[in-house]
A and B are shown apart, each in its own frame.
Chain A
């Protein structure tokens, strides 16, 4: 099988191009997705291929164009809506949470909303508190929607097809620092499952549960730990709703120690939920209290050193992992 070098951004674009080519119901809309090629340049060149009917620039009104997406989905289309960053998705929270997520229920099962919403998440690019927060954990709280957090090129390339097939609203969170990430992708890379976590690195001594950009920091930490004789297992969650409890619990049953890495704020975050599920399902497998490394509870700062300090980093993962293995308080 031939592999080629691509970026995360290109993998996302390939997935959308493939979808637009293969299904006339699919179209893309959002702020600056057409002529400008997308704020993160994901849709560059798509306007030229598919025209303004299928690659549509919208006014700066998240509530309006997400609502339009819901209407289009109800009308039989398969819309992909890009909301520049998840901070701005809060302007459409009413559409997403109160409408898209509930319609199937409130219509007595008559109306599905097959809508896909893409948004950028996370910090690390000096985009400050307006554009850098991690709100995927909030959306994972809401029943009726599916929350995807692709971290790898395979998932960036392969999750879109499944998301478009899904009869329910699907939110895809793309971490800002991953767009330029380059790697090998198989020539024939295609659809992947949009459920289940994946063990990205098997290990015996410690489980690190991560997603998005945290996955790569965790894998880097695991390499450094291996040099110290600590064999860490790294799990890529891939999907925050529904959570894949089984993979986490089975891993904890092997390693008995666990660290959750979550860029979102600590209080009430997805790390808290995962920790609680471990308590519920694997309490008697724990040899140490569950540990977590989360974003510091501040608006993400602009200054690079402060932004660095506010986000989970490899050094922090190393420190907690060593403590979990060797620590005596």
Chain B
């Protein structure tokens, strides 16, 4: 028997509310099945299960707000017999009793606090530090929307903990865009590709060359990821943004990536994401090329170690081989976590990215 617990859907998430079960006791489940929907700061998220088995018991009730790690259901693994029920231990955040008491007295929310004690335990000093932190306090008072607070927490953590380095490169997009225009001319409108597809595929290709930018910084070291899951920043119409992951971009064709976008963007905007799309990204790409923005100086989404930014495509005079011409160019930027990689790695990545975009 194993516990199916509330997953952490990002470093900024503390709890979520159970909205709907998609399974009932006795149902068989397979790894990757969506078994429940929970409401988070980032909207309604479909939660997937990570093992094969049979649902033994649904523990979490509809409408219950539960912390990360709380038991949602109990699953009997495939091939094991039913066991008599035992009460499972709920994994809690470590907070010293004194810290909990002081936080309650000061009205400080523990979810936003970084613990400095053993195992990340929140102690008195951590609560007092948080209580004297004017930004967090005022965000709470101003009734900031949950999504804004989630972004605030992630970006604050990034800026506090990650030593960023920034690089930029101007890339000639003329041949890539010409290729895209030819492709789209031949396609029915439903099958058209957007420039973002080329950029995502090129980033994935460049990460094959420079894997040190693809992964997470955890336990004081870079943990590279074999698979390339790109978080793609999608703006919400009401403001704010969500960066769901597009899985295995390096193994997908242009059409498959476009199909993923067609599936993802409406779901992001309707607030219907899956847990794996929120948690499994290994790098982030942000694309502000549809405005007048030339360069994006990105802020890394922790615990990732890099973010790639794309500005607008514009016609510019371009000198090459002693000849001056007009080309369509775009500025690509990279923000890297200097703990995990150095500027040289970033430079090689941008170089590889440029080469990828010359031959889509």
Contact = CB atoms under 8 A, between A and B. Distances in A.
A256 B118 contact: no
Contact of B117 (A283, A284, A328): A328
A284 B118 contact: no
B116 interface: yes
B296 interface: no
A286 B119 contact: no
B247 interface: no
Interface string A17-50: 0000000000000000000000000000000000
A184 interface: no
Nearest to B115: A328
A288 B116 CA distance: 12
Interface string B114-138: 0011110001100000000000000
B99 A287 contact: yes
A120 B230 CA distance: 72
Interface residues of B, number: 12
A309 to B, nearest CB: 26
B116 A256 contact: no
Interface string B308-329: 0000000000000000000000
- Chain A interface, DSSP helix/strand/loop, else mixed: loop
A283 B97 contact: yes
B131 to A, nearest CB: 15
A286 B98 contact: yes
Interface string B78-111: 0000000000000000001111110000000000
A285 B97 contact: yes
B119 A288 contact: no
Nearest to A279: B97
A34 to B, nearest CB: 56
Nearest to A253: B98
A283 to B, nearest CB: 5
B124 A256 contact: yes
A328 B124 CA distance: 15
Nearest to A283: B97
B123 A287 contact: yes
Contacts of A288: 96, 117-118, 123
A140 to B, nearest CB: 27
A187 B222 CA distance: 70
Interface string A283-295: 1111110000000
Contacts of A286: 96-98
Contacts of A256: 96, 98, 124
Interface string B134-150: 00000000000000000
A229 interface: no
B97 A284 contact: yes
A287 B115 CA distance: 12
Given A284-B100, A329-B118, 12 more contacts: A256-B98, A284-B98, A285-B97, A286-B97, A287-B98, A287-B99, A287-B123, A288-B123, A327-B118, A328-B116, A328-B117, A329-B119
30 contacts: A256-B96, A256-B98, A256-B124, A283-B97, A284-B97, A284-B98, A284-B100, A284-B101, A285-B97, A285-B98, A286-B96, A286-B97, A286-B98, A287-B96, A287-B97, A287-B98, A287-B99, A287-B117, A287-B123, A287-B124, A288-B96, A288-B117, A288-B118, A288-B123, A327-B118, A328-B116, A328-B117, A328-B118, A329-B118, A329-B119
Interface of A: 256, 283-288, 327-329
